[in-house]
Chain A
Amino acid sequence: MNRREALRSLSLSMGYVVAVPAVMNMLESCTEDTETWTAVFLTDKEKHLVTHLVDIILPSSAIPGGLDLNLPQFIDMMCKDVMKASDQEMFHQGSQVFSERFTERFNKDMIKANKEEVLALFAEYFDKSADESGIILQEQRKNSNEIPANELQDYLMYKCLIAVRTFSLLGFYTSEKIGTEVLNFDPIPGVWQPCIPVSEVGNAWTI
Chain B
Amino acid sequence: MSKNTNSEVLNSFDAIVIGTGISGGWAAKELCENGLKTLVLERGRMVEHVIDYPTMNMETWDFEHRNELTADEAKRQEKQSRTGYTTAKEFRHWFVDDTEHPYTETKRFDWMRGYHVGGRSITWGRHSYRLSEMDFEANKKDGHGVDWPIRYKDLAPWYDKVEEYIGVCGKNMGLEQLPDGKLTEPMEFNCVETDFVNRVAENMDGRVITHARIAHITGDKVHVGRGKCQFRDRCMRGCPFGGYFSSNASTLPAATRSGNMTLRPNSIAYEIVYDDETKQASGVKVIDTLTKEKLFFKAKVIFCCASAIASAAILMQSKSERFPDGLGNDSGELGHNIMDHTLGVGASAIVNEHEDKYYKGRKPAGFYVPRFRNLDKKSEQKTFKRGYGYQGSASRMNWKSAIAELSYGKELKEALVKPGRWKIGMGAFGECLPYHDNKMTLNYDKLDSWGLPIVDFDVEFKENEKAMLKDMMEQAVAMLEAAGYDEVKGHYNVNDSFPGIGIHEMGTARMGRDPKTSVLNEFNQIHTVKNVYVTDGACMTSSGCQNPSLTYMAITARAANHAVETYFKNKNRKL
Measured CB to CB, the residues of A under 8 A from B are 3-4, 7, 56-59, 61-63, 65, 77-78, 81-85, 122, 125-126, 128, 133, 136-137, 162, 165-166, 169-176, 178-179, 182-183, 186-201, 203-207
Contact = CB atoms under 8 A, between A and B. Distances in A.
B320 to A, nearest CB: 48
Given A192-B361, A197-B358, A179 B406 contact: no
Contacts of A193: 359-361
A149 B5 CA distance: 78
B396 A85 contact: no
Contacts of B408: 56-58, 122, 126, 165
Given A189-B231, A201-B419, A61 B358 contact: no
Interface in B335-374: 355-363
Contacts, number: 156
Given A58-B413, A192-B363, A207 B71 contact: no
11 contacts: A58-B413, A137-B404, A137-B406, A165-B408, A169-B402, A189-B231, A191-B361, A195-B359, A198-B356, A204-B398, A207-B398
Interface in B398-415: 398-399, 402-410, 412-414
B531 to A, nearest CB: 47
B410 A189 contact: no
B413 A203 contact: no
Contacts of B357: 195-198
B464 interface: no
Nearest to B417: A203
Interface centre among B57, B68, B406 (most CB of A within 10 A): B406
B256 to A, nearest CB: 27
A166 B187 CA distance: 34
B151 to A, nearest CB: 37
Contacts of B70: 81-82
Contacts of B74: 84
Contacts of A192: 187-188, 231, 359-361, 363
B190 A207 contact: no
A204 B418 contact: yes
Interface stretch (B59-67, B300-308, B451-459, B496-504): B59-67
A47 to B, nearest CB: 19
B150 interface: no
Nearest to A197: B356
Contacts of A190: 230-231, 361
A199 B193 CA distance: 20
Interface string B22-59: 00000000000000000000000000000000000101
A56 B409 contact: yes
B420 interface: yes
Bin chain B's interface residue count: 35 or more
A63 B411 CA distance: 11
B231 A81 contact: no
Contacts of B359: 192-196
Contacts of A196: 357-360
A207 B398 CA distance: 9
Contacts of A58: 408, 412-413
A126 B188 contact: no
Contacts of B68: 78, 82, 170
Given A165-B408, A194-B189, A197-B358, A204 B417 contact: yes
Contacts of B360: 186, 189, 191-193, 196, 201, 205
B238 to A, nearest CB: 15
A78 B230 contact: no
B416 interface: yes
A187 B356 CA distance: 23
B406 A133 contact: yes
A2 to B, nearest CB: 9
A195 B232 contact: no
Contact of B61 (A81, A85, A179): A179
Contacts of A200: 358
Contacts of A175: 61
A18 to B, nearest CB: 20
A187 B420 contact: no
A207 B64 contact: no
B410 A194 contact: no
Contacts of A191: 231, 360-361
Contacts of A179: 59-61
A173 B61 CA distance: 10
B417 A182 contact: yes
Interface in B127-164: none
B513 to A, nearest CB: 46
B191 A174 contact: no
A77 B405 CA distance: 23
Given A173-B398, A205-B360, 12 more contacts: A126-B408, A133-B405, A170-B68, A176-B61, A186-B360, A188-B232, A197-B357, A201-B360, A201-B419, A203-B418, A203-B419, A206-B59
A82 B71 contact: yes
Given A83-B71, A192-B363, A198 B409 contact: no
B66 A174 contact: yes
B72 to A, nearest CB: 8
B482 interface: no
